[in-house]
Structure 1
Amino acid sequence: MSTRRTALPGVGTRYDFATRGGRRLSVVVHQDGRRFLGFYSADDPDACQESVPLEPDEATELARLVTPSPLDGVPADGLDLVTGHLPLDARSPYGGRPLGDTRARTRTGASIVAVLRRTSAHPAPGPDFRLAIGDTLIAVGTREGVDTLAAIIAGG
């Protein structure tokens, strides 16, 4: 399988690939961060059959769901632990604030075990670690705890 990259001047970049089953897919990454997922016929690779617009956070979640990961559910002594990738976007009240302000473990029982930033990873961040818009928090806990933490981080 190979991916073909095509610059779209004034728009962004289009990435095309075909599955082993013959389905043709494209992802158009706009300059403003929006993405479109398109489905094409093998008979006519220029005729889009279906298009799904995705906001940046939706594209991130879709990527998380389709990326094979051994960390999605880790059984430990009969307990089901999960990991969550929690994006910190502009709606979050925690941008620019210390991690300790989230009170994640106290409020949810879930732990933030790492913070991914555009150019770096920060494992085991302490309570004084300053969060930034665009960070992705890696949390471990029960499904309920991680889901509750995701809502807190999102500003819910």
Structure 2
Amino acid sequence: MGTRRTPLPGVGTQFDFTTEAGRHISVVVHHDGRRFLGFYKSDDPDACVVEVPLSSEEATALAHLIDPAPIDAVRTDGIDLVTEHIQIGVRSPYIGSLLGETRARSRTGASVVAVLRRTGAHPSPAPDFRLALGDTLVAVGTREGVDALAELISEG
């Protein structure tokens, strides 16, 4: 199952994925926290059959039903911080690069607080941590910063 992330300027970010059963599901995350869940026809991946709007609270409740321990957004002093998983896919220009070579924090304002790999978790990775295909970066920052980091990691 691969996830495709598409920035929607002025709106938010769209995440599309296909289940093992071949079903296309889309989640649109708006800048204001609202979500739209879309389910598509199996024989026509562009034909949305059902669209379900969710408030930020409803999306969190649904996430807790699906995964009892998801990573939640953190609110600190009126500043919204989000935590998100960003996978290093086959198109990433940073496969085999050192984390420091991405200059992720200085370019996006978001921080990589851990790297998840099949062999285990690597908390607080140093700049000399070498990234690999399939790694999942755990990023923390503003919505805009984390979205910029995801774009940087996937496109360079």
1:104-128: per-residue Cα shift (whole Å, max 9, x none)?
1101110000001112110000000
Question: What's the CA shift for 1:132?
Answer: 0.1
TM-score by length of 2: 0.59
1:36 corresponds to which of 9, 22, 25: 22
For 1:152, the equivalent position in structure 2 comes to 152
> Contact 1:36–1:52 (CA<8 Å) still a contact in 2?
no
1:79-107: per-residue Cα shift (whole Å, max 9, x none)?
10001111101100000010001111101
> Contact 1:115–1:137 (CA<8 Å) still a contact in 2?
yes
Question: What's the CA shift for 1:53?
Answer: 9.4
Matches for 1:93-108 after TM superposition, within 5 Å:
93-108=93-108
Against the structure 1 CA distance between its residues 52 and 122, is the aligned structure 2 distance closer, same or farther, given a 3 Å change threshold? Answer: farther
- Percent identity reads 60
Matches for 1:22-33 after TM superposition, within 5 Å:
29=20
For the pair shown, the structure with the greater C-alpha radius of gyration is 1
Against the structure 1 CA distance between its residues 83 and 113, is the aligned structure 2 distance closer, same or farther, given a 3 Å change threshold? Answer: same
Aligned residues: 105
> Contact 1:82–1:146 (CA<8 Å) still a contact in 2?
yes
For 1:111, the equivalent position in structure 2 comes to 111
Question: What's the CA shift for 1:52?
Answer: 7.7
Against the structure 1 CA distance between its residues 53 and 134, is the aligned structure 2 distance closer, same or farther, given a 3 Å change threshold? Answer: farther
Unaligned runs of 5+ in 1: 1-26, 30-34, 39-49, 55-64
Amino acid in structure 2 at the alignment position of 1:51: S
Where 2:144 maps in the other structure, the secondary structure is helix
For 1:44, the equivalent position in structure 2 comes to none
Question: What's the CA shift for 1:140?
Answer: 0.1
Against the structure 1 CA distance between its residues 112 and 36, is the aligned structure 2 distance closer, same or farther, given a 3 Å change threshold? Answer: same
Question: What's the CA shift for 1:70?
Answer: 5.2
Matches for 1:62-77 after TM superposition, within 5 Å:
67=67, 69=69, 71-77=71-77
Amino acid in structure 1 at the alignment position of 2:113: V
Where 2:151 maps in the other structure, the secondary structure is helix
Distance of 2:154 and 2:132 partners within structure 1: 13
1:19-57: per-residue Cα shift (whole Å, max 9, x none)?
xxxxxxxx974xxxxx5239xxxxxxxxxxx53899xxx
For 2:86, the equivalent position in structure 1 comes to 86
Question: What's the CA shift for 1:73?
Answer: 1.3
Matches for 1:6-17 after TM superposition, within 5 Å:
none
For 1:51, the equivalent position in structure 2 comes to 42
Against the structure 1 CA distance between its residues 150 and 28, is the aligned structure 2 distance closer, same or farther, given a 3 Å change threshold? Answer: closer
TM-score by length of 1: 0.59
